[in-house]
Chains A and B, each alone.
Chain A
Amino acid sequence: METAAYVPAINLHGILPFISLLAGGMLCLAADAMSGKEGSRRILPVISFVALAAALVSFLLPGYPTGSFLENTFYSDSFSRLGCIVILVSAIATTLMGPRQVIRRNLPSGEYYTLIVFAALGMVLLALANEMLSAFVALEIMSLSLYVLTGIDRRSGKSAEASFKYFILGAFASAFFVFGSGFLFGSTRTTFLADAHNYFATRGGNMPEGAEMWAFIAFGLVFVGLCFKLSLAPFHMWAPDVYEGANTPTTLYIATGSKVAAFAFLIHFAHAFSSWQIFTAPVTFIVGLIAVASMTWGNIAAIVQSNLKRMLAYSSVAQTGYMMIAVMVLVALPSLQAAGNLNATTIANDTTLIYNAISLYLAGYTIISILAFGIAFHIGGEGSMAAYRGLFHRKPFAAVGMAIAMFSLSGLGFLPPTIGFIGKFYLFKEAVRFNMTGIAVIGILTSVIAAFYYLSLIVTMFMKAPDEENGIELAGRREERIAGLGGGDAIVRVMLATATALIFVLGLYPGLFTGLAAKAVTTKPMTTAMVKK
């Protein structure tokens, strides 16, 4: 080699969030080792909050790099950056709920916060990853942390069982992911998605035979692995059990953070293939199929649930299904362009619009989930419906907040407009715009089915008389009282109120968020020059 030392090109701002999260996690460990039980219960939330907030801020700072950085391992575009912001918001929400959860179930606070921060690190890395091995390692950092967070409540058999199921199925799914990465390597000779993209762009029409098939298999296997993390039907079977068994903050984390991360990576991954024209039609179909399966399965199964967290699990399956509509449009764009339906100059603009729709939906879903799970956590009761009977008569604010969350999730929050409605509206709008009316109609029909269970929860909260025996003294409240936990309460309340306000603010002014996306340089359009067959 010519030079003695290899100096990788490091963009310091680009890795600032990683450093901050890593340092935060380490500091948590160190602080836990140095202070006693009570001390670490007080200090660790602060440390992890600061670390997460610092990471969030470094994403929001104007100079955050765009495009590839750190040896092409990561790719930062507006969508993945917004994904990271959403992830960190959900991580912060989880942290804020932490102190009460730790006291309620007497959890080991050191590990609890450390793992939250490390999981956030994994998620952020995954969301930005543009290389299969880093993505895999990031995925595992995230997953392992979440498995343990799920099972961290050692006094609960359910928690252990949930952790166990999550782990078994998660490991199963990551095996598919790795196998798929192998095939991608085989067909494109690289694990770097940017290179794969170039490869498909230049040789997509003239690939060695066999390599095409490997690429197909690669996409299928990796896609399946990601679908598991996204809990799309039929890869969602773990979700209800894990959501029910895990402690509520972790449930929130799994439902939002890990999904957003996997989703952002899915976009990167699909983008690598987007330059390959023959590929778009099958992928469009499969993504559409999975979207339909998720929307119907999720919504129908949610109807018959009697546990709130299970219901939210199925609802989140359906919500992710809705997101896949946008992915479907996104992957179909190049073929639409090739067919002459779109003109090349507008395609970048169209892509941006679709990205806006997805990011808005993701953000909305996350905020609503924070509100819904946060209230479930706030009132205690761990998802049992008994806690919600006549909630309005006991805790009017909580009931109204939950009702807002439900209205918003169902997409019925029409007026005053909520983020849930606007998000769905934009998604369906994009689908209709590109002549995918069928899937939009299915989406709307399943939303109607969904309205049934969302509204029935509202009825339960507002119309039923409170169940005095089961509803009032809820799980964990006693421990909290003993611990004299006032401060944590207020923080959670502020968080919930902020989420509520955001639901309306973003519903009223989606541009606040999509504007952020538009400002943040260009998102990669899902196409490049086509090679003639």
Chain B
Amino acid sequence: MIDLVWLIPVIMAGAALANGLGCRKLGKIAGYISVGAMITTFVISCMVFLQVRDITKAIPHHGGEHAAEQEAHHGRHGASMLAEYETLGHEQQEAIKAQYLFVRADPKAPKPYDTTVRGGLGGHVPLYEWINIPGVFRGDRPLTIEFAFHVDQLTSIFLMFISFVGSLVFIYATGYMKEGPHNTLDPGYARFFSYLALFAASMYTLILGANFVVMFIGWEGVGLCSYLLIGYYFDRQFSAKLSCADAGKKAFVANRVGDFGLMLGMFLLFWGLGTLDFQTIITMLSGDVSALPAGFGYNGAIITAATLLLFLGATGKSAQIPLFVWLPDAMAGPTPVSALIHAATMVTAGIYMLARLNVLYMLAPTTLVVVAVIGGATAFIAAFAGLTQRGIKKILAYSTVSQLGYMFLAMGVGSFAAGIFHVFTHAFFKACLFLAAGSLIHALHHEEDVFKMGGLAKKMKGTAFAYGFATLAIAGIVPFAGFFSKDEILYNVYTAAQGSNGGFYCALWLLGLLTALLTAFYMGRSFVLAFLGKTRLQEHPAHDAHQAEGEDAHDDHHHHAVAYSEVHESPLPIVGPIVILGILSLVVGWLNIPEGLLPLGDFNSLFHHFLAPVTDRGALLVAAQQYGYTGGAAPAGAIVVGEVLSNNALATNWHGPELILAIVSVAIGLVGLGFAFMLYGSGSLAKSECLARKPLLRNLWNISFSAWKWDDVYDAIFVRMMMTIYAIALWFDQNIVDGVVNGIGLLNRRIGIEFRRLQNGQVQVYGLVMFVGVCVVLLYFVLSLPQALGENRMTVTERTREILGSKNVSSITTKPVALPEQPPTTLAKH
């Protein structure tokens, strides 16, 4: 099945094409096509996943029973373990080194987890050689770019949840994209599903790509589709300032900035290593260090620069500081789009890339610090902004940014698997939240303000139930998915704080805890405001509303208040996916229960064990290098060494703090939720308004509501500052550059206008110009002939003289030259 993985993007692209072709004619079928395609890809993804799982299981563990056992019992690797290792006594360290030497001395050392090395798993799916340039760039090194996909554990996990969540979202969209009292299809129904399918195809390409270029195709495709989808209602106004089309543009531009960084990073890597293939890069970096170009070692300058640039790309796609501004405005798209973008796709791209390149990032500790800081700061800032928002989708948008911050925080401390696990759980509960919000909005006819809702739990039981589950999950309450993933991130940050730079990581940890509190609060707030307490909707429909409905039936995006008694649960295609996702936001966390909380034997840390071959490579490599490994014959040997080191380091792992930390974070979550319930539980807004009147809180409220005035800051930076720079540049331009650069542009136009004048419509002028060309061609040919003939032939003047001098020419004969045998042209064959 792995070899057929290319089917996945192709199927989606086919669906996109079919829908694009059929356009309006298809009607409902458009939705079915896309949903069908998506479910098909889900099935394929499942099969791929199962196969990958079987292969992972079948790989023999190295280092005997002991190591395998240990391996099974811990879930955490990386910098945190390295930190733990530092604390070991001298004797223990020596013992580990001895073991390391032993492993290294054994030439037949098994190659565990060689699955990620090209060919090991058969996970490399080359389709064809795409670009092959023999020895033009970088001396004689050929540039070869394969169009290839790559399947490993990381990919298969991503495939699974993207296709699953995606399928549910697609199903949901078939219900959601109907409007008005008669459930008429949205006029752009087919177009919408075409975009959606294309979006999924791009996302699949992104995660399947075996090298930067293929990944970048998907990366750009996702950007393009997000532009199209966010700007889907291009004729509507999104907010006072922005139209939906503008929101699309904003997303596009912010992403372009990031892409610029990504491209520079790519070029830098290519310049240094001469390849863009992920596995080759990773193999090279984990190979002989001395063979690498300068700047590619541990904490090398180039690798740091490249990873930073790549991270800039990730901040664009995954909405981190400084490029997160587009995400809240991405709400302008239809709700299924928001769910898709925020939960399973697009924003996870940055996380994915970091995890994919964890070897690079582990080799660049400086970058990791930046990643951690950006992640932590984004998590906090976005959570703070989420506190006071009124639009339900806005709240969710900021919560996404915040959760993404968590993920980057996890990666910043070197626990990539934890980051991925949070992506995974987040995909479920965030999709659930968005879809439930969409259900609300749908039921309330485009009312998004939570202050105008309330008491809806009675009317919309399914939605409320799912939203509640997801809220508990995101708040980190104990058996729910979010608890396991978030707690693990915090735990990893905490362990990082035990090593060097403890204070710094400790601060990050505290920030994380604070964010958790805020998260619980604002999510609780949104739930309470929307579903509990007394309703703030009108109790009964007003008369004019009835009339309006009759008259404005076609005007589907027109807001008109819905009375409480009119609200009813959304239809099955909408509620079904929500409820499924709600239940899943309870259970998916159980895939990765740490032993420290609940010893379950083999069932502990399933997720991590599965991912470890990919995500822990970097950590293992660094660990190995730290203790003298400088590369050797088998790159996999390095991994073995690191593995052994880490396992030994973990032998002393103490699970004490894990439990305590878990209790702390659950407590924090409960406090946040409780506070929200206290403040808003009654259904009236009086308490909160009362609080908001206090000066300090008022100011904070302002900061939060305006999202730290981030847009204004951008205005200041990019508009005002740029205006100043522009003024200077303008002066420079007008006075100095004008003559040169602008002049060329003007010259082009000027010449263009001259050409236009020449093209005056008179056929004879055309003939004349043509004839000029004829004369030039012939003149050149005639003049170049003597030169071409060489010196031993007559010169031009001689020739001329001879022409003029000769009269009776045909009498001069030269020796006839034997003619070649040529394919007879005529009747000679008879």
Contact = CB atoms under 8 A, between A and B. Distances in A.
B21 A497 contact: yes
Contacts of B753: 304
Contacts of B792: 533
Given A6-B830, A202-B820, A393 B774 contact: no
Contact of B767 (A168, A198, A208, A432): A168
B763 A286 contact: no
A157 interface: no
Interface in B502-542: none
Interface in B735-779: 748-749, 751-753, 755-756, 758-759, 761, 763, 765-767, 769-770, 772-774, 776-778
B293 interface: no
B816 to A, nearest CB: 10
A292 to B, nearest CB: 12
Given A300-B752, A509-B130, A238 B766 contact: yes
A397 B774 contact: no
Interface in B132-150: 133-134, 136, 147
B129 A173 contact: no
B17 interface: yes
A241 interface: yes
Interface string A241-278: 10000000000000000000000000000000000001
Contacts of A508: 130, 147, 217
Contacts of A165: 763, 766
Scoring B769, B773, B789, B827 by chain A CB atoms within 10 A of each residue's CB, the highest score goes to B773
A240 interface: yes
Contacts of B781: 216-217, 219-220, 282, 286
B756 A301 contact: yes
Contacts of A285: 780, 784
B503 to A, nearest CB: 43
A533 B791 CA distance: 11
A482 interface: no
A192 B825 CA distance: 8
A237 B766 contact: yes
A242 B822 CA distance: 43
Contacts of B221: 416
B674 interface: no
Interface stretch (A20-28, A120-128, A221-229): A221-229
Interface residues of B, number: 67
A393 B830 contact: no
A429 interface: yes
Given A237-B770, A417-B217, A190 B755 contact: no
A304 B17 contact: no
A176 B770 CA distance: 11
Interface in A285-331: 285-286, 289-290, 297, 300-305
A433 interface: yes
Contacts of A216: 781-782, 785
Nearest to B756: A304
A200 B129 CA distance: 39
A392 B234 contact: yes
A72 B191 contact: no
Interface in A158-201: 164-165, 168-169, 172-173, 176, 190, 192, 194-195, 198-199, 201
A524 interface: no
A415 interface: yes
A429 B136 contact: yes
B827 A1 contact: yes
Contacts of A71: 825
A160 B116 CA distance: 67
Contacts of A510: 130
A303 B748 CA distance: 8
Contacts of A302: 752
B770 A228 contact: yes
Nearest to A298: B755
Interface residues of A, number: 83
A432 B571 CA distance: 62
A397 B220 contact: no
A217 B779 CA distance: 9
B234 A397 contact: no
A275 B780 CA distance: 20
B550 interface: no
Nearest to B127: A509
A393 to B, nearest CB: 6
Nearest to A285: B780
B788 interface: yes
B191 A224 contact: no
A278 B770 CA distance: 27
A315 B772 CA distance: 22
Nearest to A165: B763
Given A303-B752, A509-B130, A213 B782 contact: yes
A400 B234 CA distance: 14
Contacts of B89: none
A235 B772 CA distance: 9
Contact of B788 (A208, A279, A509): A279
A501 B221 CA distance: 14
A39 interface: no
B763 A164 contact: yes
A429 to B, nearest CB: 6
B761 A241 contact: yes
Interface in A413-429: 415-417, 422, 425, 429
B544 to A, nearest CB: 32
B6 to A, nearest CB: 11
A106 interface: no
B789 A235 contact: no
A72 B751 contact: no
Given A2-B830, A195-B825, A304-B749, A202 B819 contact: yes
B780 A301 contact: no
A512 B802 CA distance: 57
Interface string B664-708: 000000000000000000000000000000000000000000000
Contacts of B136: 429, 432-433
Contacts of A104: none
Contact of A235 (B220, B765, B773, B778): B773
A224 B774 contact: yes
B216 interface: yes
A237 B768 CA distance: 10
A173 B770 contact: yes
B20 interface: yes
Given A168-B767, A202-B820, A282-B780, A393 B147 contact: no
Interface in B453-490: none
A72 B825 contact: yes
A322 B674 CA distance: 70
Contacts of A198: 820, 822-823
Contact of A240 (B759, B776, B777, B785): B759
A240 B769 CA distance: 14
Top-10 shortest CB links A-B: A237-B766, A304-B752, A202-B820, A301-B755, A278-B788, A234-B773, A198-B822, A282-B784, A216-B781, A497-B21
Given A71-B825, A195-B823, A241-B761, 10 more contacts: A202-B820, A221-B774, A228-B770, A290-B777, A301-B756, A303-B748, A305-B756, A449-B748, A493-B21, A508-B130
Interface of A: 1-3, 6, 68, 71-72, 164-165, 168-169, 172-173, 176, 190, 192, 194-195, 198-199, 201-203, 206, 208-209, 212-213, 216-217, 219-221, 223-224, 227-228, 233-235, 237-238, 240-241, 278-279, 281-282, 285-286, 289-290, 297, 300-305, 392-393, 396-397, 400, 415-417, 422, 425, 429, 432-433, 449, 490, 493-494, 497, 501, 508-511, 533
30 contacts: A68-B823, A72-B823, A169-B767, A169-B770, A176-B774, A194-B823, A194-B825, A216-B785, A221-B774, A223-B777, A224-B777, A227-B773, A235-B770, A238-B766, A241-B766, A281-B784, A290-B773, A300-B751, A300-B755, A301-B752, A302-B752, A304-B755, A392-B234, A425-B131, A432-B136, A497-B17, A508-B147, A509-B147, A511-B130, A533-B792
